[in-house]
Structure 1
C-alpha cells in the first residue's frame, strides 16, 4: 500500500499537478450523485498536465492543450498498476474526500432549515425570513447551523417573555439562559433579540431615523440606543441613567398639587410603577432643552402647564414617559431648536407619539429670524425635512440661521402660563 501510494504521487501528486487534480475533482463534485462519469474533456493543459494524463491512458506524449479522456480506461490502468481502484479514489487518496456539491448543499440547507425552525416566536420567525435577518444569524453563528440552532432556541425563549414590566436585563438573562451576563451588549443572543424588537418599531419611525437603523445588525449602535430598545421591551438596563425631566406632572388627581419644581423620573420608576399620569384631555408641553424647562419653573412655578423635556433625542426614560402620557390621554405639543437636529427630533416625537407642533413652524421661524442678532448662528450638518411643515425646511435653507429654543422663551411662556 505504501509503495502504491508513492507511485500514485509520482503519477498525479505534487504541486505541478495541483491545478489538474482540482479540475478533475470539480468534475466529480458537480457530476452525477452516484459519481459515475464516462468521459471528461480537460482544457487549458500545460505540458506537465498533458504528460501526466497521457501516461495514465497510454497515449503518445505529443502535446495538446486539451484532451478527452475515458474515465473507465484510467480506472482500469490505475487498478492494473495497483495504485488505486479508480481515478476518483486516486484523487481522494492525494487530496482528501470528494464531496458531491449538490448533495452537500442540500444537506446544508436542511441543517439551516432545522436551525431556523427553533424560532417559533412570530416576530422572530418573520425576521429570519428576510435576507438581512438570515444574514445576521449566519454572521453571529459563523455560518455554523448547529451554533445557529442554539442561538435561535435561546433567543426564542427570551422573546417569549417580552414585553416585560420593569425586569432587569441581568434577571431576564439569568432566568432564561442561566447566565446573568448572557444578554450583555455584544452577546449573540442579545443581538438577535434586540434586532427583532427594533424591527417591530421600524414602521413607526421617520425616514430620517430609519437611516440610523438600515442594518439589522445592532452591534454598531450606541449604548443609549440599545438601552432604548430594551426599555420598549420592558427591560431595565442602567435604569438610573438619563432620567426624564418634567415639571408639574401629577400621577393622579388625589396627589398633592405640583410644587412648581422640576423633577426627574428614572426608567426604573417608570417601568416598575407604570404611573397613571393625571393628564387626560390636557396639554403637555414637550421641549428639547432643559434650560427652557428651568426658565419656565423660575418664571411660572406651580402656575406652569405640565412639561416634559426630551434633552435632545429622547432616550429610554423620555420615550417611556411620553408614551405613558399619551396612554393617559394627554395631548403632546412639541417645540425644539430651529436647526437640523431639532427638526429630526421633532419628526421623531410627532411621528412616534402623535405630538403636534408648538410654535414650531415656518411663521415662528421667520419671526425669530427677523429678531435674531447678526451674524447669528449658522445652520450646520445635513438638511432634514420637517414632516409637519413643508415650508419650514425651505425657509431654514434660505436663511441659513439656527434659532435656539431658549431665545424664544418669552413667546413660549405665554402658552405655559395657566
Structure 2
C-alpha cells in the first residue's frame, strides 16, 4: 500500500467513513458506472480527509458529493491507487457485491438441497422449518450442510432398525460411536426427519411428538426420555435397560414362550421389546392399563393368575412403556386406562388415550366423586394447574370443586373387581 493512501484514508479514525464509501460499491455491480456518491453526517476529520482526497478546499459542511469517476482519475494520476474502489480494497480487503453474494449463497444452498437423494430427507427439506434447522446446525455453511445431509442419509437408510444400539449404529455408519449422541447435529437432523416420516404415516406411533418437553415437565431428563422414545420408534436402542415396562398376565401366541410366569409381574426392557418383540395374543382382548406399578403388585397379590391382562405406564410412559403399548394396540388390544386423580394423572391419561386410542377405566367425574366420598383416609389436597380431561369434560370441574387428589391405589378395590377373572 502506498504510504500516501494510508495517510489520506487509512487508520481507525476514518474506518466509519471507509465503511460508508464501501457500501456504495457493495450496492453497485462490478463494472457499473461509478456515478456520483453523496456522503453525509461527516465529522471534522472525515471532511478534512475527503477534502484532501478530492483536492477541494475544506468546507464546514455535513455532507459532500463526490464524482467517483473524477476521483478515480485523480488517484490513478497520482499513482496512489487504480480507483477509489481499489483504494478501499487495499486498506480493508475485497469489496463484495451484496446482491451477487446473496445469489451465490442461495445457489449453494439450492445445490445442497437438490443434491439430497434420500426421499424422506429431501421431502423434509422442502419445509421452511427443516431448511432453517439445517442452516442452524451447519452454522449457515453450505459445505457443512452437505456433509450433514450425507451423514443423515447414511443413518436414515438403516432405519427402522431391529433393535440396534445407537452407539453401534453411529460407529457402523459414521465411524464415531458418539456421532448420534444427544445434541449432535447429525442426530438432531435424523430425529427431525424421522418425526417427519411418522407424521406422513396414518399409523404413526405419535403424530404430534416434539422435543420441547411439552408433554412432560420441561427438564433435561424429560427431554432425554422423549429423544429416547423417538429413537425407539425407529428401532434404535438408547439406554435400553432403563425403565423397563411392567406387565402381568399379558398373553402371547400359543407357540411362543411366555414372557412371564402366570400370576407374577414381569419386566420387559426396551432392548427385548425391539430386538425380539413378543407376538401378543391380544386381538380384540381388553388389556387394562394403570399408571402406578403398585397396582400391578396389588393385583398380583390378590388375584394372581385370575387377573386380567394388566400393564403399568409407571407415570408418563417412557420408551419401553410406549413401545409395549404400541405393540399391544397394533396387535388389536382394546386398551382401558386408569390413573391418579390429580392433574399430572389427567395429563398422562390424555396422552395415553390420544396416542394409543385407550378408553377410560373407572376414570370419569362420577368415579372421582365416589372415590372422594369413599376413601377419605387416603386423599390429599389437589395442587397444580387445572388440566381438562379429553374423555370427560365434567372431571376437571369436579376435581376443582372438591379439591382432592386421590391416588390410584386408594381405589384398588373396584379396579380389582374389574380385573378379576373367574
TM-score range, shorter-chain basis?
over 0.9
Q: Deviations over 1:202-261 (max 9, x none)?
A: 6975989786369xxx99963222211110001111211111100001221345695200
- Look up the SS of the partner of 1:85 in the other structure: coil
Quote the Cα distance in structure 2 between the aligned partners of 1:220 and 1:138: 27
C-alpha contact (below 8 Å) 1:258/1:302 kept by paired residues = no
Q: 1:210 to 1:364 in 2, by over 3 A?
A: farther
TM superposition outliers: structure 1 runs of 4+ over 6 Å = 206-211
Residues 341 and 292 of structure 1, relative CA distance in 2, 3 Å threshold: same
Q: Deviations over 1:183-202 (max 9, x none)?
A: 12222111111122234456
Task: Measure the CA separation in 2 of the matches of 1:220 and 1:374.
Answer: 33
Larger mean CA deviation between 159-168 and 366-375 belongs to 366-375
Structure 2 spans left out of the alignment, 5+ residues: none
Query: Partner of 2:369 in structure 1?
Result: 366
Give the structure 1 partner of residue 389 of structure 2: 386
Q: Which moved more, 1:74-83 or 1:286-295?
A: 74-83
SS state at 1:68 partner: strand
| Kept in 1: contact 2:163–2:275 (CA 8 A) | yes
Query: Can you list the C-alpha shifts for 1:6-36, whole angstroms capped at 9, x where unaligned?
Result: 1001111112211110000011111234353
CA distance in 1, matches of 2:183, 2:158: 20
Does residue 354 (structure 1) correspond to residue 351 (structure 2)? The answer is no
Q: Does 1:29 align with 2:26?
A: yes
Paired position in structure 1 for 2:302: 299
Q: How many angstroms does 1:129 deviate by?
A: 3.1
In the other structure, the counterpart of 2:77 is: 80
What RMSD over aligned residues (CA atoms) do the two structures have, in Å? 2.4
Alpha-carbon displacement from aligned partner over 1:244-300 (angstroms, at most 9, x marks no partner): 100001221345695200001111111111211111111000000000010000000
Q: Equivalent residue of 1:136, what SS?
A: helix
Mapped partners of 1:268, 1:376: distance in 2: 38
- Quick check: 2:342–2:382 contact (8 Å CA) kept in 1? yes
The residue aligned with 1:172 is 169
1:273 matches 2:276: yes
Q: Does 1:311 align with 2:314?
A: yes
Report what 1:197 is aligned to. 194
Asked if residue 15 in structure 1 is aligned to residue 12 in structure 2, the reply is yes
Please report the TM-score for the alignment, with normalisation by the length of structure 1: 0.92
CA distance in 1, matches of 2:29, 2:346: 63
Determine helix, strand or coil for the equivalent of 2:140: coil
Q: What TM-score do you get using the length of structure 2 for normalisation?
A: 0.91
In terms of mean alpha carbon deviation, does 364-373 or 93-102 score higher?
364-373
Question: What is the CA deviation profile of residues 115-151 of structure 1, one whole-angstrom value per residue up to 9, with x for unaligned ones?
Answer: 2334333332333333332232222222211111100
